A and B are shown apart, each in its own frame.
Chain A
Amino acid sequence: MTDYEKYRQICREARGTGILLVLLILFWLAAGFGAYAVWGPAPVAFGLPVWAIGGTIGVWLFAIIGVWVLLHTTFRDMSLDESGEDASAKGGEHDD
């Protein structure tokens, strides 16, 4: 991967992370305030109302699944050192 390709890939990953954030906020709204508006405070499981489950554990699970999907669809492994031709041009001075 060239340095340019790495930069493009990093931008894609950052955009993907931002999209996950937006989706998480929407889920948080729907699972919490949305669920409360529809089902109210009546307990449905473990003595808890729908919004208290969806808006807490639900958001957490959504985030975990979202990160897993993000890592498997958008993120790619890459060398953190500079690409070969650039590194040799600059003398390849690195810590690692």
Chain B
Amino acid sequence: MPSIMETINIILDGLPTLLKGMGVTIEVTVISLILAMVIGLVLGVFSITKSKVLRMISTVFVDIIRGTPLLVQILFIYFGLPSVIDISLTAFSAGVIAITVNAAAYLVEIFRAGINSIDKGQMEAGRSLGFSYGQTMRLIILPQAIRRMIPAFVNQFIVSIKDTSLLSAIGLAELTLSGQSIYAANFHAFEILFAVGVLYFVIIYSLTLLSRWLERRLDVA
């Protein structure tokens, strides 16, 4: 059993590398989730329109992405795609694409359920005043729906943050891989993985606190 001082020193030695990895993890997550929210919203609205084609696009996307493991998607995008089409992706961009696409599929369902939870009289009231479908969505339905969606969004964001650890499989030096590279050299797996866990917890717990504050502020109905 190593002493407390030794443990702290091992962690402190590894900390600069870990914090760099944590930076990459946050960067991938933030970029991916912003993109995923946009795709999720668009496909979520597709999924409730009258157009069969748009509904089909949304359904097929959601079914394929939810029906396959994220690790396979990551490997497919990074190793699979460049072998048949002429693109070369960095581990970072492949990671962003994979996390974006995966999170978007789950966000589609959150948007769909959230929008559907708003009484249909709200759409009718908006349309009867003379607002278009798009205006009614933007001014009346979404502002109400998004408040209700916040807890589900936060849940998905947390899942996505943790999912980024799978990007270590394609050599992206995010938090998990940074940890692995340290204990591969110094063999202190216990201390380093403990520190890695703490850093993930810090990111996720900060997000949790932020969402609780946001929910209170918006007085979610």
Whether A and B are associated in the same complex: the answer reads no
